[in-house]
Amino acid sequence: MNGEFKMSIKVQMQGAVMTLAFDRPDKKNAITAAMYAALADALEQAGADASVRAVLIHGSQTAFTAGNDLQDFLSNPPQGEASPVFRFLHNISVFTKPLLAAVNGPAVGIGTTLLLHCDLVYAGESARFATPFSQLGLCPEAASSLLLPAVAGYHRAAAMLLFGEAIGPLQAREMGFVNEVLPDDKTIAHALERAQALARLPASSMRVTKRLLKQGQQQAIAQQMQAEGEEFRAMLGSPEAREAFSAFLEKRKPDFSRFG
Ligand code: COA
């Protein structure tokens, strides 16, 4: 598995820790359907393989991920719950081993919402978290409309999800979804060290503790993800989303004034 490239997701074993690295620097690690499929497969593999004791998701020293690849979404929109993006979201939400993330630079859309499913999140000083769903004519996904208010409180979650403006690492830590803020050149190494520390502890304790932490919310998360998914898929075909996506790709500001 070491060093294997799967469509811009680099999957490696570092001791007992599986690292999943976004590796598409020319597009700020924007995630295509093929990359979601690779992530979903890797999580399934990690869950089934006893030699994997923890998983760390990270990007580069300058970019975590710009979120969904907007070009890919336009030309190849996810059709249903079997689509790679929803398979990834399901797998990340039910993953039973410690799941960590290290974030530098932009973490946009799903780049931020996936963090709500991680157990520990480490951010570099350059980290910028944004959920610009409204700016794209879309709505929240990944159960973020449930999980963000749960960690940050209703009003802070509403501000983040309605405005879609980016926040920095200190604000994200204050909101409750970042554990520690570090210099950019230390983030990934520190997160890996923390993952390896968890990997040395009894796997049974990790499993049971995580189950106990999460079980109260599990059913609600699945229901919210399904409800969000239905809205999201419908909104992807809306004229507002098409205008927003085209504007991004044409490098202009979107104009929503003609839509009611
Ligand atoms: N989908 C497709 N391509 C993307 C992308 C995305 N989500 N994000 C960035 N890219 C591409 C850009 O089009 C650009 O491509 P080009 O060099 O061929 O023109 C390249 O990646 C670099 O992006 P750029 O915008 O020049 O980098 P930046 O450092 O100025 O800004 C971001 C980085 C992430 C803040 C900015 O790219 C951005 O806002 N991206 C869109 C994020 C988004 O809306 N994601 C969807 C959430 S649901």
Check which CATH number belongs to the domain holding 90 and give it.
3.90.226.10
97 located within any domain: yes
195 Cβ closer than 6 Å to some ligand 1 atom = no
228 located within any domain: no
224 located within any domain: no
Least confident of 4-8, 40-44, 231-235, 250-254: 4-8
pLDDT at 5: 54
| Beta carbons of 43 and 92 less than 8 angstroms apart | yes
- Cα 50 from chain centroid (whole Å): 24
172 located within any domain: yes
Give CA separation, 119 vs 84, 102, 203, in Å. Answer: 22, 11, 15
Which pTM does this prediction carry?
0.96
pLDDT at 118: 98
Find the 250 Cα to ligand 1 centroid distance in Å.
11
23 located within any domain: yes
Asked if pLDDT for residue 4 goes beyond 60, the answer is: no
Find the 244 Cα to ligand 1 centroid distance in Å.
13
Find the 101 Cα to ligand 1 centroid distance in Å.
21
Say how many domains are in the chain.
1
| Helices 33-48, 84-93: inter-axial angle, 10-degree rounding | 30
190 located within any domain: no
| Beta carbons of 89 and 109 less than 8 angstroms apart | no
Atom 28 (ligand 1) nearest CA: 28
Residue span of the structural domain in which 105 resides:
4-184+202-211
What would the mean pLDDT of 207-211 be, rounded to a whole number? 98
252 located within any domain: no
78 Cβ closer than 6 Å to some ligand 1 atom = no
pLDDT at 75: 86
pLDDT at 6: 58
pLDDT at 2: 47
109 Cβ closer than 6 Å to some ligand 1 atom = yes
DSSP letter (8 states) at residue 226: H
70 Cβ closer than 6 Å to some ligand 1 atom = yes
30 Cβ closer than 6 Å to some ligand 1 atom = yes
Asked if pLDDT for residue 7 goes beyond 80, the answer is: no
84 located within any domain: yes
Q: What kind and span of H or E run contains 187?
A: helix 184-200
Token representation of residue 93: 């939400």
How does pLDDT run across 21-31, given as a tens digit for each residue? Answer: 999 999 999 99
Asked if pLDDT for residue 69 goes beyond 70, the answer is: yes
Give the integer Cα–Cα distance in Å for 171 and 161. 15
| Beta carbons of 121 and 140 less than 8 angstroms apart | no
Find the 91 Cα to ligand 1 centroid distance in Å.
26
Strand partners for 180: 122
Least confident of 23-32, 69-78, 133-142, 222-231: 69-78
Query: Which ligand 1 atom is nearest residue 69's CA?
Result: 1
Atom 47 (ligand 1) nearest CA: 109
Residues 6 or more apart in contact with residue 251 via CB below 8 angstroms: none
How does pLDDT run across 160-192, given as a tens digit for each residue? Answer: 999 999 999 999 999 999 999 999 999 999 999
